[in-house]
Structure 1
Amino acid sequence: MIKVKRESIEKEVVEPYFEQWNELSSHIHKAHDLRNGEAKSLMDKGILLFENCIVNCSETTSQSINESEEYEVLPINGMERLQFIKTRPGQYACFRQLDELFKELKKRLARLRISA
């Protein structure tokens, strides 16, 4: 298991990820409503943002997420859910799933900060 990097889960460090996701998610939601074909490319950005947050909050030298590893910071079934999202990023269900992963990640990081 790849452990959490304590100094990287401080609220000031991780909050920009969630602020960016809030902005991006509103654009993704709008793209789904308009059915303009932009949702997939926006979701690709969201997936990358989520993965960057996971990697930066973990004790790893890798620059990208390793799907065969377990990460302490990932929510329950996070890797399986992320793989599902990556197979069909243009689907609305995947957008909802990524949104839930961001919410659960925020809560998990808060719990990890408290237990530090």
Structure 2
Amino acid sequence: MTQLLSLRVPAELKHPLFFSNEETILEKEDYNEWNCLIQLENFPYELLFYNKVESYLPWKDGDGHVPELLEKWKKIEAECGLLFSERKAGQALEPMKQGIGLFLSAVYWMHGMPVVMSAWQGQIKDFTYIPVNLVERLSFILARPAFFHSYRQLSELFREFEKQYVKSRIKK
């Protein structure tokens, strides 16, 4: 039997791009274990964690999940590229939101932490494996998610992050 949970959006995750309401609904069973088919743009595992609902914690094995997140991005990147090439920027907002959520999840999880949107600038700059000027670049993307330049910047961030990920794996 499916258990729908009405969860408050915690202060840690409040950001207008990802949450327009104070509450959201999730099916708890979907998050008891890792499922690579789940959409991550609204940080479902973090929602459950910050609401103190027992679920899978993907950041505990962040290194193991990063390759899957990078693969998901490649599909979203192609979709966004097509939309921008057809001058359909308005339709690119949803896939861009998915991509931004994937990127944040990958960066945080690789560093063993759940995503935090409330103080991300301060936290991310202290991470070891991140692209150059990440705070400035990601701030630009979050402010203008449906712009072509944001798409290009996000694509570059993913490429640079993938190199950082490989570097971290070699060092371990």
Residue 90 (structure 2) pairs with residue 73 (structure 1)? no
Asked whether the equivalents of residues 52 and 64 of structure 1 are also in contact (C-alpha less than 8 Å), the reply is no
1:32 to partner: Cα distance: 0.8
CA RMSD of the aligned region, Å? 1.9
1:106 to partner: Cα distance: 0.5
SS in 2 for 1:90: coil
Higher helix share: 1
1:48 to 88, 91, 101: 101
Bigger Rg, which one: 2
1:63 to partner: Cα distance: 3.4
1:53-106 deviation digits (Å, cap 9, x = unpaired): 11111133x433522222222111112111111111111111011001000001
Residue 67 (structure 2) pairs with residue 15 (structure 1)? yes
Residue 94 (structure 1) aligns with: 150
SS in 2 for 1:68: helix
Q: Could you tell me which amino acid in structure 1 is paired with residue 148 of structure 2?
A: Y
Q: Which has the higher contact order (CA 8 A, sep 6+)?
A: 1
* Paired residues, number: 109
Asked whether the equivalents of residues 85 and 98 of structure 1 are also in contact (C-alpha less than 8 Å), the reply is yes
Task: Give unmatched runs, 5+ long, in structure 2.
Answer: 1-58
Q: 1:27/1:67 Cα in 2 relative to 1: closer, same or farther (>3 Å)? A: same
User: How far apart are the structure 1 equivalents of 2:112 and 2:74?
Assistant: 26
SS in 1 for 2:131: coil
Q: Could you tell me which amino acid in structure 2 is paired with residue 68 of structure 1?
A: G
User: How far apart are the structure 2 equivalents of 1:40 and 1:7?
Assistant: 29
Q: Where has structure 1 moved over 2 Å in runs of 4 or more?
A: 5-10, 62-65
Q: Could you tell me which amino acid in structure 2 is paired with residue 49 of structure 1?
A: L
Residue 86 (structure 2) pairs with residue 34 (structure 1)? yes
Q: Could you tell me which amino acid in structure 1 is paired with residue 91 of structure 2?
A: E
User: How far apart are the structure 2 equivalents of 1:63 and 1:75?
Assistant: 17
TM-score by length of 2: 0.58
Identity fraction in percent? 28
TM-score by length of 1: 0.83
